[in-house]
Amino acid sequence: MSLFSKAKQVIAGGVNSPVRAFAAVGGDPIFFKSASGAWLESEDGRKYIDYVGSWGPMILGHGHPAVIAAVIETAKQGLSFGAPCVLETELANKICALMPSIEKIRMVSSGTEATMSAIRLARGHIGRNKIIKFEGCYHGHSDSLLIKAGSGALTLGVPSSPGVPPGVAQNTITLTFNDSDAITSVFAEIGEQIACVIVEPIAGNMNMVPPEPGFLETLRTLCTDAGAILIFDEVMTGFRVARGGAQSVFGITPDLTTIGKIVGGGMPAAAFGGRADIMASIAPDGPVYQAGTLSGNPVAMAAGLATLEQLDEPGFYAALGKKTAQLVDGLAAAALDADIPLATECLGGMFGFVFTEARSVRRFDQVAAADTDRFRKFFHGMLNEGVYLAPSAFEAGFVSAAHGDDEIAATITAARKVFNTL
């Protein structure tokens, strides 16, 4: 019996997060037993160059000595206190220094917790109920965010999962990412009812889709004028595309920011924070309730702090961006030589590619129209060549500091081989 078959006997769907099941690409998921640097090793002993990086956290690569040492030394003192520890404050100070828009912060254990809590805080602070999100942007699986668009900008949202009550959906408006006109119209009509706008400044859950010039600026202006709260979901982009996150790249100051992945260094940790006056509405200072038994877990705080300290190395992001661009340029050239239409994007240690005739991808409908069957074949071809990509055409990829010239060159060589079979 396969490992996946055994898992399915006791784990719902055989996995603890749906994308891991390989449903979008077919076949059984790979079970891994170890990781080091840019490499993963499966239970059957095969090694793969890893471009998933635990879905983003492993910016230093797997098993970085400084992070492992911090985790081991902290674990020796105890795994969890359920009480304050100095490491929480140290990590909070580090994050606030890197992202000046965050004046105060609250630690949580997952990105879903962070976004859910930030939205509750925005609603409670401002006293409004409606929120705006964008199609193709994923902010975790809380009820308010599992809402797809209705037939028009102001129609009631539609739950995208059973178990989400229609009453929840009526307060969530889902619009098209990069459509400034649509959100301007909504604010013109019901701006006084909107509590917040939540957006990935670079969408990473419909592959990698950057904002068009002026889009984020429009969101900032509309929220300011209407007294609404602008939330940047930087769970993925925070410390991944730049030291100060996407907000530092685009020069936009959100009111609240959610972060995760890298902030935990591979351990379960995330956070939300922003303007001090808004954060003052969170209990125990204010009436908006939020709590978590394992929030600020000392081992996770140590891993996150050790990771962020490594990012201070001079030239870290320049080197990381150069590696990522080298990879993406190589993939694009290989696809062009094989006459395969491919649109690519990259920034910092984040990249994406879409099998499409479009020269660039900026909206969800463009991603949805891409050739997912070709991606599926490419994914399995690369897997056979020892390259592990995200098992979905709608996920971004990640390069780490541990990826060297040899890994990048081997990946491009593999891609050339596989492109010629598509």
Active-site residue numbers? 138, 233, 261
Backbone angles phi, psi at 16, to 5 degrees: -105, 10
Cis-peptide into 284, omega within 30 deg: yes
Cα angle, residue 276 at apex, residues 270 and 281 outer, rounded to 5°: 80
E-strand spans in 208-310? 229-234, 256-259, 270-274
Question: The tokens of 361 are what?
Answer: 């991808």
The Cα–Cα gap between 236 and 252 comes to 17
The Cα–Cα gap between 304 and 45 comes to 29
Residue type at 330 in one-letter notation: G
Where are the alpha helices (H) located in 313-363, listed in sequence order?
A: 316-337
254 and 232 Cβ atoms separated by less than 8 Å: yes
Strand (E) or helix (H) holding 200: none
Backbone angles phi, psi at 135, to 5 degrees: -60, 130
Helices (H) and strands (E) in the chain, counts: 14, 16
**How far does CA 154 lie from the centroid of its chain?**
27
Sole residue written with tokens 């990698």: 208
Helical pair 316-337 and 405-419, crossing angle rounded to 10 deg: 20
Q: 270 by DSSP, 3-state: which?
A: strand
259 and 245 Cβ atoms separated by less than 8 Å: yes
Q: With CA atoms as reference, report the closest residue to 210 among 178, 183, 233, 184.
A: 178
The Cα–Cα gap between 112 and 409 comes to 36
End-to-end CA separation in angstroms for the chain: 32
